[in-house]
Amino acid sequence: MIIIGVTGKYCAGKSYISHRIASRGYYEIDVDALGHKALIESYDQLIETFTDVIASPHSEIDRAKLKEIVFSDPAKLLQLESIVHPKMVLMCKELIEKEERKGAKAIIINAALLHRMQLDLICDIICYVHTPLLLRYRRAKVRDKMSWNKFIRVQEAQKDINSTLFDTEGDVYIMKNYGKQSFIHRQVDEFCITIGI
């Protein structure tokens, strides 16, 4: 089974590309979605670490408040990651094993923090999505109503998301996203043909 890691910086369009590859009949692991589950599982520990300021009225973690805290303080971001990342990695590996038992030909891991979580170590091939900074900011502004200052803080926290840092013996493909779907589709088709899926 080929394990394909799809990664890139915030608002690069990696989910779109990951979905496009998966649409050929392969299972996609959305690591962000695993993060939501890890937050639920870590509720007590997170409240103990960051206080109940991050609790929503429904006894859930207020993700917006948590993001605000961790993206303004690198030490707090490391604290959060030390709590939730091990759970997310374990969930990811369990899903991979499940697909492998089914005899799947390929599986896609959609993860911005592929390298930081050391998931690149288990990937056979990595697809890095490169999108210009201003295009990513425009998307962040429209999708998440994000200010320039907040966007820059997120960029600072993602310095290690870079196509040259992966720990893999497999190939690293750079997929360019300039906003044109036809151009993205062509690259995805070429990528899938090249790797034989």
58 in a structural domain: yes
184 in a structural domain: yes
39 in a structural domain: yes
145 in a structural domain: yes
What does R_g of the chain's alpha carbons equal in angstroms?
17
37 in a structural domain: yes
Q: How far apart are CA 54 and CA 72, in angstroms?
A: 15
146 in a structural domain: yes
Lowest pLDDT segment from 3-17, 61-75, 135-149: 61-75
CATH for 29: 3.40.50.300
- Is 192:24 a contact under the CB 8 Å cutoff? yes
Percent of the chain with pLDDT over 90: 75
Residues 6+ apart with CB under 8 A from 175: 17, 127, 128, 129, 130, 184, 187, 188, 191
Average pLDDT over residues 62-85: 90
Output the pLDDT for position 73.
87
As a three-state string, the secondary structure of 145-184 is CCCHHHHHHHHHHCCCCCCCCCCCCCCEEEEECCCCHHHH
Average pLDDT over residues 50-71: 86
Q: Rounded mean pLDDT of the chain?
A: 92
Output the pLDDT for position 153.
87
**Total tally of structural domains belonging to the chain:** 1
Residue 56, pLDDT > 90, answer no
Average pLDDT over residues 56-65: 85
Nearest 5°: CA angle at 15, between 75 and 98? 90
5 phi, psi to nearest 5 deg: -95, 125
Q: pLDDT band at 63, cuts 50/70/90?
A: confident
DSSP 3-state assignment of 123? coil
175 in a structural domain: yes
Output the pLDDT for position 64.
86
197 in a structural domain: no
Output the pLDDT for position 147.
93
Average pLDDT over residues 170-186: 91
State which residues form the domain around 29.
2-192
Residue 67, pLDDT > 90, answer no
Output the pLDDT for position 169.
73
- Is 136:155 a contact under the CB 8 Å cutoff? no
Q: What is the pLDDT of residues 99-114, one digit of tens each?
A: 999 999 999 999 999 9
Output the pLDDT for position 179.
84
Lowest pLDDT segment from 11-15, 68-72, 95-99, 184-188: 68-72
| Element holding 111 (H helix, E strand) | none
Say if pTM beats, i.e. exceeds, 0.85: yes
DSSP 3-state assignment of 79? helix
